[in-house]
Structure 1
Amino acid sequence: MGKKVTLKEQAAFFTSLADMLQAGFSLKKSLLNVKLLDPKLQNKVEKIITQLSLGATFSQTVEPWVSKQTYFQIKMAEQHGNLEQAIKELGKFLFRLNEQLQKLKGLLLYPLMLLVLLAGLCTSIKIWLVPKLTAFSNVVDPGQSVPFFKDPVHLVKGAITICLLAVIMYLSKVIHWWVKQKSLTRHVWYAQLPILGQLYRLYCAYIITFDLSLLFQCGLDIQQICLYLRDFKKNSIYYQLGYELDAALNQGSEVEDFILRYSFIPHELLFFLNNGDTKEEMSKELAIFSQNSYRNLLRGSERLLTWVQPLLFLVIAAIIIGTYLAILLPLYSSIGGIY
């Protein structure tokens, strides 16, 4: 596939491919059927089939156009014989993610239109109305000069300028810090964000427990999982988790201490690891927990979406009030000068 593939196309591809694999077709036959059923994906699927015939793995063929997380999940499942299940989960997740993004776009459309109209109104006021108000004020009392700290218009402009400078400085500092951090530190930071952090923790709980379910199903233990994760790229979260966990175990630490160290790792894993179940039983339990985390993630995102429009309308209301103040305060000062 090309490097620019939309989320909608990815969701359609993985969903259709999962349906074909579940129907009992081989990977190559499933890809051929997907190509026939969805003409939009025809050229992309042909490239995958060509690369597969040249000896590439499925994960290698899709790596250029999917996220790192998606690629690692496919690679992990491919190496341990769970490709069909992983593709099914990816198709379901990407399909719902695309639905959520489309819903968010629909919620943003009306407020953004209002913001555009307000921007036009504010620009018109700045270009045509403010100069006339200034001229009127000068006519009323040409010799009077208002100190900066007593002029409400200047005070509002100064406050807005200071706030913008503070926000820009803070964002610059955050970006500088973020670029220098490892993947583990970034994930911890994501998980601690207000509001969005809870959703990110649910997403991590869904992904981590799903991947662990696949690995336990293949009979791997914790030490073997560490070694397996070390095979990924060094800048990936999988490699860094495997490296840190292996180092902690070699120093005599417990897995429980490692889990509690990182906020994005679901602490419910402690229950599954200390329950005394077999690897097969843990695999099934983690799969159930992963699905439950996925459902909680959907519910949380739905609740968050309900707050998008009210918050934007509050911003619009603040802009309207600020616009009225920008008009009325100079008029008030001028009228006060007349009396």
Structure 2
Amino acid sequence: MRLSLPIRTDKIRLRDREQFLTRLAVLMKEGYLLPVALNLLLPMHTSKLEVALVGITAILKEGGNAAEILKFLGFKEHVLFPVEIAESHGRLAESIDSIGNSFARTERVQKKLKNILIYPVSLLIFTSILFLFFRTSYVPNLTEMMNSMQSGEETSGVPAYLLSLPDFFIAIFASVALSVFVFGQLLKQQAVERQITWLLSIPIIRRFMKLYWSHLLARELGTLLHSGISMQESLDLLQRQNYHKTIQFMARMSHEELMMGQSFSRSLEHVAFVSKDMPAFVQHGEMTGYLGKELILYSEVLMEQIEQQTQQLLRIIQPSFFIIIAICIIGAYLAILMPMYNLVHTI
């Protein structure tokens, strides 16, 4: 059930969200009800305790669920989606614990990316400022001196375009960032089928998205099946959730083929945006009768693959920035040494 959340002027911001989810899972495993666990944890994670408690109370009075409460506390769809599904199979505490671990992985990757980028990006910006000062103060004087020492057609100044290399690279990065922002805004306005088509048309993103979507589908469907819920009912639950449109679309496609007598593994063969080995893996689970457990295992394997590919990508980013900075410095040397070399030959 979708609720209209309490109107609030202050946005609830939780501190240490990873710790919040982990502690919430521990308390619920110990037998605490969700409202009681939240009352215990919120004083440690927000300075707007009264606003948070009033909002949570209003949600509970309207019959709201855990997903609605976490949405009120500022969590995004990648957290709300598995929480809503978890309330269907009754393993909310285990799901929140798993979400907390995934949250920790994401935080580690983001922190590592920040640490990798902060030094080379700062160095590139500093280099650009230094070269700007060099072009406006030093180059005109050097060019004037060389013009006074040379004459006629032999006159050649400092090739200032080489000193504009940092500006060129920064302009490229700014253009890419703007393009990504515009693409993201346009993507949100499209139907889910077109969103999938657009994302799969980008070579770098295509494999990540296939792995990520397959991971989500395998994790949530596997958990539902492992809890004793039938395949048709599980797919129906995934269709009715509203937090992840792509999984909703995938579940609808598979459910339609299931109603036509096809197996789940066969239906996945017609889905172009799942990992290529997923149909074979699902078929093995159907044959052994342990599809739920094997899907959960498969989702963990996919998450490991996502982490490995992310680490490989991060290892490329920092050296690329240093190569760009090296090109800028070499350009600066050439900008000064080439005219000097020409001047020596004219003396």
Question: What secondary structure is seen at the aligned counterpart in 2 of 1:329?
Answer: helix
The farther-off stretch of 87-96 and 107-116 is 107-116
Partner of 1:325: 334
Instruction: Give per-residue Cα distances to partners, 1:186-245, cap 9 Å, x unaligned.
Output: 446546755555444443333221111122234444544443333244982233223444
Whole-angstrom CA distance in 1 between matches of 2:244 and 2:221:
20
Residue 310 of structure 2 aligns to which amino acid in structure 1? S
Letter in 2 for 1:90: I
**Alignment partner, residue 247 of structure 2:** 238
Give the distance between the partners of 2:177 and 2:119, measured in 1 at CA. Answer: 30
Aligned residue in 1 for 2:20: 13
Aligned to 2:65: 57
> Are the structure 2 counterparts of residues 80 and 15 from structure 1 closer, same or farther at C-alpha, using a change threshold of 3 Å?
same
- Which amino acid in the other structure matches residue 60 of structure 1? E
Partner of 2:220 in structure 1?
211
How far apart, in 1, do the equivalents of 2:179 and 2:261 lie? 40
Aligned equivalent of 1:108: 117
Q: Distance in 2 between matches of 1:276 and 1:297?
A: 22
- Please report the TM-score for the alignment, with normalisation by the length of structure 1: 0.77
Root mean square deviation of aligned Cα: 4.2
In the aligned structure 2, how far is the partner of 1:305 from the partner of 1:126? 34
Aligned to 1:99: 108
Cα 1:321–1:246 change in 2 (3 A) is same
Give the match for residue 131 of structure 1: 140
Candidates 75, 85, 88, aligned match of 2:84: 75
Aligned residue for 1:301?
310
Structure 2 counterpart of 1:119, from 128, 135, 153: 128
| C-alpha contact (below 8 Å) 2:85/2:241 kept by paired residues | no
Q: 1:39 to 1:61 in 2, by over 3 A?
A: closer
| Offset at residue 278 of structure 1 (A) | 8.1
Secondary structure of the corresponding residue to residue 290 of structure 2: helix
Q: How many angstroms does 1:106 deviate by?
A: 2.1
- 2:238 — aligned with what? 229
Residue 48 of structure 1 deviates from its aligned partner by: 5.7
In structure 2, distance between residues paired with 1:261 and 1:329:
61
CA distance in 1, matches of 2:104, 2:68: 22
Question: What is the alpha-carbon distance in structure 1 between the residues aligned to residue 277 and residue 283 of structure 2?
Answer: 10
Q: Name the amino acid aligned to 2:291.
A: M
Equivalent pair of 1:206/1:290 in contact (CA under 8 Å): yes
CA distance in 2, matches of 1:132, 1:280: 81
Letter in 2 for 1:20: L
Q: Paired residues, what number?
A: 333
Displacement after TM superposition at 1:89 (Å)? 1.0
Point out where structure 1 has 5 or more consecutive residues left out of the alignment. Answer: none
Distance 1:87 1:162 in 2: 43
AA matched with 1:11 = E
Q: How far is 1:111 from its partner? A: 1.9
Read off the aligned partner of 2:80 and give its amino acid letter: Y
Shift of 1:319: 1.7
Superposed CA offset, 1:66-123 (max 9, x none): 2223222211112332222221111011012112222222222322332233122211
Task: Give 2:37's aligned amino acid.
Answer: S
Output the TM-score relative to the length of structure 2. Answer: 0.76
Aligned partner letter, 2:96 = I
Q: Distance in 2 between matches of 1:133 and 1:190?
A: 51
Gaps of 5+ in 2: 1-7
Amino acid at match of 2:60: S
Partner of 1:84: 93
Deviations along 1:273-301, one digit per CA (max 9) or x if unpaired, are 32364897211111122223333333443
Q: Say which SS state the counterpart of residue 274 (structure 1) adopts.
A: helix
Instruction: Tell which deviates more after alignment, 277-286 or 89-98.
Output: 277-286
Select which of 30, 41, 44 maps to 1:34.
41
Secondary structure of the equivalent of 2:31?
coil
Q: Which moved more, 1:287-296 or 1:18-27?
A: 287-296
Indicate if the aligned counterparts of 2:18 and 2:100 stay in contact, CA closer than 8 A.
yes
Q: Does the C-alpha gap of structure 1 residues 145 and 183 become closer, same or farther in structure 2, counting only changes over 3 Å?
A: farther
The CA deviation at 1:27 is 1.5
Aligned to 2:5: none
In 1, the alpha carbon distance for the partners of 2:235 and 2:228 equals: 13
CA deviations over 1:47-78 (Å, ceiling 9, x no partner): 56423432321111222522223222211112
